[in-house]
């Protein structure tokens, strides 16, 4: 596309792997943008530092969804199911796990299953054209290993076909912080549920991990929502929905800490990639007024400066 429609002097596309990327990073740029995982981000940032090049890093992490019992369970389930399974769960801001009270797990699982069946059909393996595929066999095997090693209970899903890279939407309950599904970003169609009974403990659970790229809160309780907003740190927050902040170009999009550095979208992109150059243009007239700033510095000049400062403060 770039070769046919792009401006070659402005855009250059280089295909390749580690050797090509390493060679590109050795060049001097005004700004480097990287999207991916935090391990590679450290390599990019270290290479950029050699030339004092600023970077924008859009990473990821485990984005939680806190679901309060006051919410409409069916609406919350539909919106979370959509966000968690878009592109077969392979988006950087997908809700990566659910935090809810233990008494709310059963009704929420039932609502999630209903939503999943509505979106993707009853027989996921045969009627799988409504769901995407895992990107390659390496990631398919990684997801299978995470699920197989989990000590949680598969509530529904878990069907797999390695040859077709098909992995059905899967919900797992009974997961704790030490579970295989909580060790890192899942980046696939597996949604674990962690039972934590009150919002303060849910906030503590989130804060014990790395700062996520996104955080989702589902509640009708405004005080609870404010408590979560005021006591957590994330790249972005959405209340009562998922993913949609990324579609709003008036909002900055980016991470914090382990989930990224810098932000963009809309005018924020223009600001991120622009240097704010200070320019002051002055007249050469009234040079006599500048006499008080030139050496030799005298008591008379100091008095004039004091009077000028007082006048400026009063106005």
Distance CA 113, CA 156 (A): 7
User: Residue 139 in 3-state DSSP?
Assistant: helix
Distance CA 295, CA 283 (A): 21
Could you tell me the two tokens for 58?
A: 């859009």
Which position among 4, 7, 26, 92 bears the catalytic label? 92
Give backbone dihedrals phi and psi of 308, rounded to 5 degrees, phi first: -65, -40
> Is residue 116 exposed (0-12), middle (13-18) or buried (19+ Cβ within 10 Å)?
buried
Please, how many CA atoms are within 13 Å of residue 74, restricted to the half-sphere of its CB?
Answer: 3
26 labelled catalytic: no
20 labelled catalytic: no
> Is residue 214 exposed (0-12), middle (13-18) or buried (19+ Cβ within 10 Å)?
buried
Closest CA to 135 of 187, 195, 96, 83: 187
Which position among 58, 155, 185, 258 bears the catalytic label? 58
Distance CA 306, CA 263 (A): 44
Is the sign of the CA dihedral 143, 144, 146, 150 positive or negative? positive
Distance CA 166, CA 144 (A): 11
Element (H, E) at 254: none
Neighbours of 109 (CB within 10 A): 20
First-to-last alpha carbon distance for the chain, in angstroms, is 59
Q: Which residues are catalytic?
A: 58, 92
């Amino acid at each position: 596309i770039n070769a046919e429609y792009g401006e070659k002097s402005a855009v250059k596309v280089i295909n390749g792997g580690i050797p090509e990327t390493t060679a590109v990073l050795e060049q001097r740029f005004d700004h480097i943008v990287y999207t991916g995982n935090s391990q590679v981000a450290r390599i990019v940032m270290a290479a950029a530092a050699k030339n004092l090049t600023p970077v924008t890093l859009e990473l990821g992490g485990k984005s939680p969804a806190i679901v309060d019992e006051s919410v409409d369970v069916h609406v919350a389930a539909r919106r979370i199911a959509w966000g968690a399974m878009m592109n077969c769960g392979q988006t950087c801001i997908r809700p990566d796990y659910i935090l809810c009270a233990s008494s709310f797990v059963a009704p929420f699982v039932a609502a999630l299953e209903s939503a999943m069946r509505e979106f993707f059909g009853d027989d996921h393996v045969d009627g799988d054209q409504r769901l995407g595929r895992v990107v390659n066999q390496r990631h398919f095997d990684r997801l299978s290993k995470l699920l197989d090693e989990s000590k949680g209970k598969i509530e529904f899903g878990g069907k797999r076909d390695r040859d077709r890279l098909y992995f059905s939407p899967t919900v797992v309950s009974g997961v704790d912080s030490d579970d295989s599904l909580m060790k890192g970003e899942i980046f696939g169609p597996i949604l674990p549920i962690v039972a934590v009974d009150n919002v303060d403990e849910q906030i503590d659970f989130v804060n014990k991990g790395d700062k996520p790229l996104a955080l989702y809160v589902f509640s009708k309780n405004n005080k609870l929502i404010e408590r979560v907003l005021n006591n957590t740190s994330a790249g972005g927050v959405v209340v009562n929905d998922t993913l949609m902040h990324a579609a709003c170009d008036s909002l900055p999009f980016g991470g914090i800490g382990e989930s990224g550095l810098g932000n963009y979208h809309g005018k924020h992109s223009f600001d991120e990639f622009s240097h704010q150059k200070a320019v002051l243009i002055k007249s050469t007239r009234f040079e006599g007024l500048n006499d008080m700033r030139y050496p030799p510095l005298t008591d008379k000049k100091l008095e004039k400066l004091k009077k000028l400062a007082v006048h400026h403060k009063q106005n």
